[in-house]
A and B are shown apart, each in its own frame.
Chain A
Amino acid sequence: MKKRLWISSLSLLALLLAVSACAPKKTVAPSAENKPAVQNPQPAEEETVPVESAMEQAKIQPETSARGMNFVEATNMDLPDVYFEFDKYNLTEETKGVLAKSVAVLKNNPKLIIQVQGNCDERGTVEYNLALGQKRATAVRNYLVIAGIDSARVFTISYGKEKPLDPGHDETAWAKNRRAHFVVAAN
């Protein structure tokens, strides 16, 4: 009962203070977001998700807002797309090899800010693909950060299955559409 009361007073407080979640200059009480009212649940089963080591994780800072930034296609830089296996968001050894090129470009252009766009093929659902595209973009971001790129320079966005590169409905098209694509901040 006590807990319930606390939750409702917390929500009332949040209601009074917030305009929208993560709005610029937000005034939500910090406790409202950082302390879950209830402990996060334990996963029901053992996870099969790749996990970065603790030291690696420490480097990865959450993204700040990319609002107001204008990302455009990189015309004179070698930031090749990387591809994913069906339904997967982990990076293969081959993918990591391709990403090394982007790491070099970012190191040679220390002011360059990029956005990683996560995309999926058309076979899944709208909802899961939206989350899957985010996981793909985040996996690439994490790799770049662990390779030494400042967290603050790499943003992500998921387009789910909504922006296929190849409009076809076959294996060739699907393989092309399961990709992370890089765009760069225009200043």
Chain B
Amino acid sequence: MKMKIKLVSLITMIWSLAMIWPAGARDVNIDISRFESRKINIAVADFLYSGPDFEDNWGGQVAAILKNDLNLSGYFSQVEIGDNQKLQKLNVDLKELGSLGIDALVNGKITVTGDKVEIECYLYDADSQVRIVGIRYKANKDIFRRTIHNFSDEIIYRYTGEKGIAETKICFTGDLKGDKEVYAVDYDGYGFHKITNENSLVLLPRWTADAKKIAYTSYKAGNPDLYIVNEDGSGRRTLSSCQGLNSMARFSNDGKYLAVVLSKDGNPDIYIMTPAGAVIRRLTGSRAIDSSPSWSPSNSDIVFISDRSGAPQLYVTDSDGVNVRRLVYNNNYVDSPAWSPTGERIAYVVRVKNEINIYTTDVNGNFQQQLTSGSGRNENPSWSPDGRFIAFVSNRNGKSQLYIMNNDGSNQRPLFPGELADQFKGNISTPDWSLKQE
């Protein structure tokens, strides 16, 4: 497979950036077929540094963020070169890379002035002996990490053709002092912050399709109402305040609608609403519980659970409410369905006795796979936007914490890195993984 590198890339971001193009080259093709059966050996040099705070090791920080992103992606293996001065140079001699076992090299330069950073990032391919891409970012220090994540995704895109997930976030509820509030964290466990200040019970936060807002249920006004708030906690407004439940909101992937559970007509049912809060139709009409909707990526179908046959089970309906079919025949208790962003599979949980485990199934209900086992409660699976990972909560080590795993259940690990393992003292529930903010 050959991948063509486009010279003009329309990226709009909140910081200014400039593409720096390899001199002479107008189009670069790199052969990525050689990486279909093995990982890409990448070397990330500590960035050169210019500025006052030498003790902050800015150049090393940039490299550390890039290396972590590339490791988490699962596509790369690291060739450690540290502060190899030859490879740090911006006019690096690419002929040496092959003999060092390096497929790709990243280096660059960071300049710090006051609260601003300017970062030049370069990616070189050893096989074709070219600089594939160079980007100069100018950003405020407070979005330093996100800026580096953007270049990580650029590297991943150039070598895999896949959109990376390094700029995505996960929101969830956390309990402290008896209240629950919405919090969010970057996909790598850094950037943890509190979003709501309801001083109340808050449940089931869900990102909007553009990843800029979060809808959640709060009991602040004495009823479980649905609110929406900007990612920074500003702009809170009521989305739905029907008597009874206003909860389990899920935005369609085009952002035009949300599926939500209301009990205003006397029974928990799924309704379709506009982002302005107008109910446009009732999707389910059984006298049983119908809840937990999740849209297919094309928005043509919705998976949900219903206890119309006894215990809660998975069903799928066309998003106009017709053609309801049961998905999985399982005598146990099933809930929390999440349709993968790539469309092929649906994750859900099954309760057996006091254990809850995460499963996936294909969309016809034929091929189920159990992803967790023998580790207490494993709940609320949420897919990464590329469909390769699943975030979930587990109480396997006592309190309920945020975990991540590959979509086949391998490599289960806490989402917060070791040094940040205790950054939140409470229990975490119901994670929701954002799409990439455009």
Contacts and interface: CB of A to CB of B under 8 A. Distances in A.
A55 to B, nearest CB: 16
B397 to A, nearest CB: 16
A41 B309 contact: no
A49 B267 CA distance: 12
Nearest to A159: B201
Contact of B279 (A14, A43, A123): A14
Contact of B274 (A14, A127, A162): A14
B351 A124 contact: yes
A140 interface: no
Nearest to A47: B308
A155 B282 CA distance: 22
Contacts of A124: 333, 335, 351
B277 A19 contact: yes
A45 B333 CA distance: 17
Contact of A18 (B247, B261, B267, B277): B277
Interface residues of B, number: 75
Interface in B302-319: 305, 307-312, 315, 317
B274 A64 contact: no
Contacts of A162: 180, 201, 203
Interface string B252-265: 00000000011111
A51 interface: yes
A127 B248 contact: yes
Interface string B202-244: 0110000000000000010111101000000000011111111
Contacts, number: 210
Nearest to A57: B266
Interface in B140-180: 180
Contacts of A17: 278
A67 B221 contact: yes
Contact of A22 (B264, B287, B288, B311): B264
Interface-central residue, B244, B247, B262, B429, by most chain A CB under 10 Å? B244
A65 interface: yes
B284 interface: yes
A82 B239 CA distance: 33
Contacts of B325: 44
Interface stretch (A94-102, A104-112, A130-138): A130-138
B239 A20 contact: yes
Contact of A37 (B203, B221, B281, B310): B281
A128 B288 contact: no
A145 to B, nearest CB: 11
Interface string A48-87: 1101000000001011111101110000000000000001
Contacts of B286: 43, 47, 49
Interface in A152-181: 155-160, 162-163
B224 A128 contact: no
Nearest to A160: B203
B285 A40 contact: yes
A37 B257 CA distance: 15
A135 B268 contact: yes
Given A128-B333, A130-B268, 20 more contacts: A14-B279, A15-B278, A21-B262, A21-B279, A23-B241, A37-B320, A38-B320, A44-B308, A62-B243, A62-B265, A67-B221, A123-B354, A124-B351, A125-B292, A125-B380, A126-B379, A127-B336, A128-B335, A156-B244, A158-B263
| Interchain residue pairs A-B with the least CB separation, the first 8 | A40-B285, A14-B278, A20-B277, A22-B242, A18-B278, A21-B240, A131-B268, A125-B335
20 contacts: A14-B280, A20-B238, A20-B276, A21-B240, A21-B241, A21-B279, A22-B240, A22-B241, A32-B278, A36-B285, A49-B288, A125-B351, A125-B379, A126-B204, A127-B335, A131-B289, A131-B291, A135-B289, A156-B244, A157-B244
Interface of B: 180, 201, 203-204, 219, 221-224, 226, 237-248, 261-268, 273-274, 276-289, 291-292, 305, 307-312, 315, 317, 320-326, 333, 335-336, 349, 351, 354, 356, 379-380, 429-430
